[in-house]
Chains A and B, each alone.
Chain A
């Protein structure tokens, strides 16, 4: 049978990260996948070298729209170490609250996208509707619906007052109920189980050797969470569970996320109820850092996020190396598609929490003659009928 090469990507109308999967299929079976990147390299690492420490903070927040607060956190906590600044406890709690709200809406987003991809559009709309409640809370705390930008070197920009605290607590009760319902849907719905269970299975040893992180790693039975192993912000003072599942398939990864969102609700609630007294907003912050380097890690919604910041003193970073969790989870999972059907590719890919699209062209490779030609999707559809 002819091997058909299908480029999936690099454009997607709804989500971030333009990326392409070159999928080679023999009939319906996937025999090879190669990830193509580089469609949107913005050179943020280089930009940071040119800008001051404070400007770098805003750049870090713009690496990713969905998880902007964790990017700012990982940058700010690293720079604070280089500057010898310690944020006050109240600021650490507020940072934690914002990051956990972000985790809840990020996990809800990918659950909605997954529902859409398997053709369950009603669930997509319901989750997106309830996600808006979390976005509202984020706006209530930070002033912005998407970009938090609440961090500042040595603290946060805005404090949380009593009125806001009570509003968040009452809204969290609704969100928790909805999350419990969606977890039940993902655990019990026949369609979702059919599409997700046993699809894209990753064994524990494979997850480690292929350097996967976050819910993908924890969905394969490895208990590894930066919040727990390498605590930052206020996580060392807040009790919470690390969610782990052993199944290792797409279904396990989705359930880990929904469980984690529920854990996050608990963290936000605990942080609000135990918010330390004292200042949170610094009056001034330093502009220069000492000579040194720091490896800063946080647990982003998609997994371990790591910055390596090098300072030679002065007002600019010398080098900032950014490694986002999706970088590992997308590039190192080419092997998980093999042997599955073409229709499973979007499911497996989405279970790593990135985004893709389908272009309307197909490249047919004649293995014997080595000839390549493009075929439109319409033409391909007709082949099935003749």
Chain B
């Protein structure tokens, strides 16, 4: 399997044109800055609730138009305190992804001033404080 090194971080190829690296949430901003320099845009932020491991996994999927590969950054936060730093100031296009992950799974992106409930979730669920895509949401 091939590898790709960007600023000291080694991305491992898991399938054709998909390179993955796992980091701590604290490294996200540094890594985002490095990836943006590779003429990349952020495709999506995909959050997966893992109640058995008491964690929520975040997948930042970037597409590098320079390397023509997807650069996937994986990070994990605890379900009780799901806080990661925002990357909206580095990648303005991350806004939608962060708003969505906050509204549907309750991930707090520290530093993003536009986070709000009701971005996608209807009011009746918001008023009950439910994050619908959590596995124990009961919706």
B15, CB-defined interface residue at 8 Å: yes
- Asked if A38 and B15 sit within 8 Å, CB to CB, the answer is no
- Asked if B93 and A41 sit within 8 Å, CB to CB, the answer is no
Q: A211-B41, A331-B95 are in contact. Are A308 and B59 (CB under 8 A)?
A: yes
Shortest distance between the CB of A244 and any CB in chain B (Å): 12
Chain B 85-128 residues near chain A, CB threshold 8 A? 91-97, 99-100, 104, 118-122
Q: A46-B132, A319-B48, A323-B43 are in contact. Are A210 and B92 (CB under 8 A)?
A: yes
B4, CB-defined interface residue at 8 Å: no
Mask of B24-65 contacts with A, CB within 8 angstroms, 1/0: 000000000000100111111011110000000001010101
- Asked if A223 and B65 sit within 8 Å, CB to CB, the answer is yes
Q: A41-B121, A297-B70 are in contact. Are A212 and B93 (CB under 8 A)?
A: yes
The SS class assigned to the B binding surface is mixed
CA distance A186 to B39 in the complex (A): 31
Q: How many chain B residues touch A (Cβ–Cβ < 8 Å)?
A: 39
- Provide the residues of chain B in CB contact with A308, threshold 8 Å: 44, 46, 59, 61
Closest chain B residue to A222, Cβ basis:
B65
- Asked if B61 and A332 sit within 8 Å, CB to CB, the answer is no
- Asked if A43 and B132 sit within 8 Å, CB to CB, the answer is yes
B21, CB-defined interface residue at 8 Å: no
- The winner among B15, B42, B46, B92 for most chain A CB atoms within 10 A is B46
Beyond the given pairs A43-B132, A209-B92, A211-B43, 16 more chain A to chain B contacts, judged by CB atoms under 8 angstroms and listed by A's residue number, are: A37-B119, A41-B122, A208-B65, A209-B41, A212-B93, A295-B59, A304-B43, A306-B61, A308-B44, A318-B48, A319-B48, A319-B49, A319-B133, A323-B97, A327-B96, A328-B96
Q: A38-B119, A41-B121, A41-B122 are in contact. Are A211 and B15 (CB under 8 A)?
A: no
CB contact between A211 and one of B46, B93, B122 (< 8 Å): that residue: B93
A110, CB-defined interface residue at 8 Å: no
Closest chain A residue to B117, Cβ basis:
A38
CA distance A60 to B78 in the complex (A): 30
B68, CB-defined interface residue at 8 Å: yes
The SS class assigned to the A binding surface is mixed
- Provide the residues of chain B in CB contact with A128, threshold 8 Å: none
Mask of A306-340 contacts with B, CB within 8 angstroms, 1/0: 10101000000011010100011001100000000
- Provide the residues of chain B in CB contact with A208, threshold 8 Å: 39-41, 65
Shortest distance between the CB of B123 and any CB in chain A (Å): 9
CA distance A222 to B49 in the complex (A): 35
Chain A 226-267 residues near chain B, CB threshold 8 A? 229-230
Closest chain B residue to A335, Cβ basis:
B92
B139, CB-defined interface residue at 8 Å: yes
A130, CB-defined interface residue at 8 Å: no
- Asked if B68 and A230 sit within 8 Å, CB to CB, the answer is yes
- Asked if A310 and B139 sit within 8 Å, CB to CB, the answer is no
- Provide the residues of chain B in CB contact with A210, threshold 8 Å: 92-93
Chain B 10-30 residues near chain A, CB threshold 8 A? 15, 17-18
- Provide the residues of chain B in CB contact with A213, threshold 8 Å: 41, 43
Instruction: Identify 29 residue pairs between A and B in the complex whose beta-carbon atoms are under 8 Å apart, listed by A's number.
Output: A37-B120, A45-B104, A46-B133, A208-B40, A209-B92, A209-B93, A210-B93, A211-B41, A211-B43, A211-B94, A213-B43, A223-B65, A224-B63, A230-B17, A295-B18, A295-B59, A295-B70, A297-B63, A304-B63, A306-B44, A308-B61, A319-B46, A321-B44, A321-B48, A323-B46, A327-B96, A328-B96, A331-B95, A331-B99
